[in-house]
Amino acid sequence: MEIRRIAEHEHARVGELTVAAYESVPGLPLDGYRETLRDVAGRIADAVVLVAVVDDEVLGAVTYVPGPDSASAEFTDPAAAGMRFLAVDPAAHGRGVGAALTRACLERARQEGRERVVLHSTAWMATAVRLYERLGFRRAVELDWTPEPGVTLVGYAFDL
């Protein structure tokens, strides 16, 4: 599996893959959020979209947020980097794609001298939460927030 920056011709594929991944989460409310999930081109303006590729097929993607000044940041900690929009093609679940993308973000943050990587998940994303905890993320209640009624984002951090 190769982890690399997204190529321009892959934007549409990654946008649709991200929507499909989020739609596969039982009960996750996506009303009004699908266009945000599809907007890969908008994310690369000040963040890095990484893809996991096997035999020229994109199986997953993640957005690495280099710091709190990024428009994609959901954090204010100047020592942190972030992760958003982790998505694995539902047909590729169980192949280590999400773990490989998460590790790539951790390594990138180390190389950039960050002290931690932060992210948000939801109660609906139990599979993702198990992955993050297995990789060493800790629950960070100080990062929790509610962007809209009925949706609480649950914070996690990985100290580098």
Using one digit for the tens of pLDDT, what is the confidence trace for 66-88? 999 999 999 999 999 999 999 99
Phi/psi region, residue 56 (left: phi>0; alpha: psi -120 to 50; beta: rest), is: left
Mapping DSSP onto H, E and C, the string for 83-144 reads: EEEEEECHHHCCCCHHHHHHHHHHHHHHHCCCCEEEEEECCCCHHHHHHHHHHCCEECHHHC
Tell me the fold of 2-159: Aminopeptidase (3.40.630)
Residue 70: the pLDDT is 95
Q: Which residues contact 107 (CB under 8 A, 6 or more apart)?
A: none
- Residues whose CB is less than 8 angstroms from the CB of residue 7 and which lie 6 or more positions away in sequence, other chains included: none
- How confident is the model over 19-41, as a mean pLDDT? 88
Write out the DSSP string of 1-22: -EEEEPPGGGHHHHHHHHHHHH
Q: For the segment 90-139, what is each residue's pLDDT rounded down to a tens digit?
A: 999 999 999 999 999 999 999 999 999 999 998 888 899 999 999 999 99
**Cα-Cα end-to-end distance for the chain:** 24
Q: Cα 87–44–124 angle (5° rounding)?
A: 25
Percent of the chain with pLDDT over 70: 100
**Amino acid identity for residue 27 in this structure:** G
- pTM attached to this predicted model: 0.94
